Amino acid sequence: MTKILAIDTSCDETSGAVTEGSRVLSNILWSQASLHSKWGGVVPSLAKRAHQERIGWVINRALKVSKLTPSEVDAIAVTVGPGLAIALEVGIQKAKELAMKYNKPLITVNHVEGHILSVFAETPKHKVNISFPAIALVLSGKHSDIVLVKDFGSYEIIAYTIDDALGEALDKAARMLGLGYPGGAILEKMAKMGNANKYGLPIPMMGKESRFVFSYSGLKSAMWRLVENEKPLTKEKIYDLAASFQDKAFKHVERLLIKVLDKYKASDFLFGGGVSANLEIRKCIRGLCKERGVKFHIPYTKNTCGDNAAMIGVASYFKYKKELFVKPNDLDEVERIPRARVDSLFPWEH
């Protein structure tokens, strides 16, 4: 079975993984969250330096855990976009070096495709059975995308965000409440203790769901005004504000998904990205799928919900089978594509 050493440095996690087919042999993550937290968001120059410092370590560790040497893998895979340009460069540079040194084919992967296919990641205890067409929902710090998956490598974007991504909006709300960065997971904890109906925040795009876009700027502004009015914040207020914001933010996803599931008939639903770790939104979407007889899939562990290299390894396996390699002579053509779209090929794949 094909063994792949995969790398992702698209944002603020430095990650290396080894996969065998769609099985994850190792998935090593070095989070930069604490480095960026005091700035309330990712600082590109700090991210780049931290990736440079850690990349060698995560790759060695991923190989060690999988008990393989670089000569024993069949290919090197790397994220080339979308993501932070100077962060992506670090992983790409390393992947090219390894491909040349060990004479291995290089596979370039779209980060959103990685999140979509992250649900295919298997372990000895977790087997996956997915059919197409499928609907994929990627909710992360940078993306709110709904994608029709016709086959591996064949994607149609159904919905996208016109301003903030959901994870980004959750992070900003958490910041308004003084909860730190990244805030999605902390907001979830606070929300559990609060009353979602205490405050009258708006559900974004109410009645306009057939436009098939996400938008969080209005909800974010309303939250900002509300938080300012409620200051000084008590614990109880924070719980209720967190619950209210999360509830309205998720209702927007739910209402849009109902439209999508009614329009596009799919057998399976794939949910990935950092926000897919949230139990509340999982429960809601699982319910929607169940009512419609659609099989619901999530990544097998929290580490494969957010940014990680295992999903890049899994996604690259399907490209490996189609021999979508970068030819040795074309290695120089490979570069970061910060705004890469999941429905398009990379220039060197044409």
**Dist. CA 16–CA 326, nearest whole Å:** 20
Nearest distance in Å: CB 143, Zn ion: 7
**Dist. CA 190–CA 218, nearest whole Å:** 22
Name which position in 19, 140, 244, 308 contacts Zn ion (CB under 5 A). Answer: 140
Question: Which residue, 104 or 142, has its beta carbon nearer to ligand KG4?
Answer: 142
DSSP state of 136: E
**Cis amide leading into 299 (omega within 30):** no
Nearest distance in Å: CB 259, ligand KG4: 23
DSSP 267-336: SEEEEESGGGG-HHHHHHHHHHHHHTTPEEE--SSGGGTSS-SHHHHHHHHHHHHTT-PBPGGGGGG---
Size of the site for ligand KG4 (CB under 6 A): 20
**Cis amide leading into 182 (omega within 30):** yes
- Which span (64-72, 95-103, 177-185, 228-236) binds ligand KG4, by CB under 6 A? 177-185
**Tokens standing for residue 299:** 């990544």
Does residue 188 touch ligand KG4 according to CB under 6 A?
yes
Q: Which option in Zn ion, ligand KG4, none does residue 7 bind, with CB closer than 5 to 8 A by kind?
A: none
Name which position in 307, 309, 310, 316 contacts Zn ion (CB under 5 A). Answer: 307
- Which span (117-125, 163-171, 231-239, 334-342) binds ligand KG4, by CB under 6 A? 163-171
Q: Which residue, chain included where needed, has tokens 């960026």?
A: 36
Question: Which residue, 168 or 209, has its beta carbon nearer to ligand KG4?
Answer: 168
Does residue 307 touch ligand KG4 according to CB under 6 A?
yes
Closest CA to 219 of 205, 240, 236: 205
**Dist. CA 117–CA 137, nearest whole Å:** 11
Nearest distance in Å: CB 42, ligand KG4: 9
Could you give the 3-state DSSP secondary structure of residue 75?
Answer: strand
Beta bridge partners of 20: 3, 23
- Which span (93-101, 252-260, 272-280, 338-346) binds ligand KG4, by CB under 6 A? 272-280
- Find the farthest-apart pair of alpha carbons in the chain and give their distance in angstroms, rounded: 62
Nearest distance in Å: CB 325, ligand KG4: 25
Name which position in 75, 170, 257, 312 contacts ligand KG4 (CB under 6 A). Answer: 170
Q: Contacts for 218-223 with beta carbons within 8 Å, 24 or more apart?
A: 219/169, 219/245, 219/248, 219/249, 219/252, 220/164, 220/169, 220/172, 220/173, 223/173, 223/176
- Which span (43-51, 94-102, 135-143, 320-328) binds ligand KG4, by CB under 6 A? 135-143
Question: Which residue, 105 or 274, has its beta carbon nearer to ligand KG4?
Answer: 274
Does residue 161 touch Zn ion according to CB under 5 A?
no
Q: Which option in ligand KG4, Zn ion, none does residue 277 bind, with CB closer than 5 to 8 A by kind?
A: ligand KG4
Nearest distance in Å: CB 315, Zn ion: 12
**Dist. CA 245–CA 191, nearest whole Å:** 8
Does residue 184 touch ligand KG4 according to CB under 6 A?
yes
Provide the binding-site residues for Zn ion, judged by CB under 5 A.
140, 307
Q: What is the contact surface with ligand KG4 in residues (CB under 6 A)?
A: 11, 140-142, 167-168, 170-171, 182-185, 188, 273-275, 277-278, 306-307
